[in-house]
Amino acid sequence: MVPVWVWVLLWIFLFGNFAYGVYYVFRHGLDAVAKAGQTGSQIAEVLGQLSDSELDTARKAADEDPTPFFARPLTDATDRYTRTREAVEKSHLRKASRHDDALKRWDGYSQEELESIAGRIEHTAESSDERAHYE
């Protein structure tokens, strides 16, 4: 037969773990909601910029003439192709600009910061290796 005080300790441990689990889920849930909100606002900002410029051009081109292109003069098709190529080139330039901005941010790290980051990664890898050897 197990003494009563052992059951009391087990119940205290059980409820303590349960309370910590509820706290952990609540805390990380709030962090996840905040990060999801930030990500959503960033996506909305990018889509807002996209819709303002490129979608207006596409709507104007679609509303010009409902006649199929094979029944129109060839100049209509070439004009549409030219407008589309210009939009594609602008898109490529914006993409290249975003990549250049990312590279400039990465180049902004000093040598000390890079060494610090490398040291943290190395330390994490070593501690992970040590834990793997003990298990």
pLDDT digits (tens, 9 = 90+) for 47-77: 777 756 666 666 666 666 777 778 888 888 8
Task: Name the residue with higher pLDDT: 63 or 84.
Answer: 84
Supply the DSSP string of 50-77, one letter for each residue. HIIIIIHHHHHHHHH--S-GGGS-HHHH
Q: What is the mean pLDDT of residues 101-118?
A: 84
pLDDT in tens, 25-37: 999 999 999 999 9
In degrees rounded to 5, what are phi and psi of residue 111? Answer: -65, -35
Residue 9's pLDDT band, with cuts at 50, 70 and 90, is very high
pLDDT at residue 59, rounded to an integer: 64
Across the range 109-114, mean pLDDT stands at 82
- Entry pTM: 0.37
Q: In the chain, where does DSSP find H-type helix? A: 4-50, 56-64, 74-107, 111-134
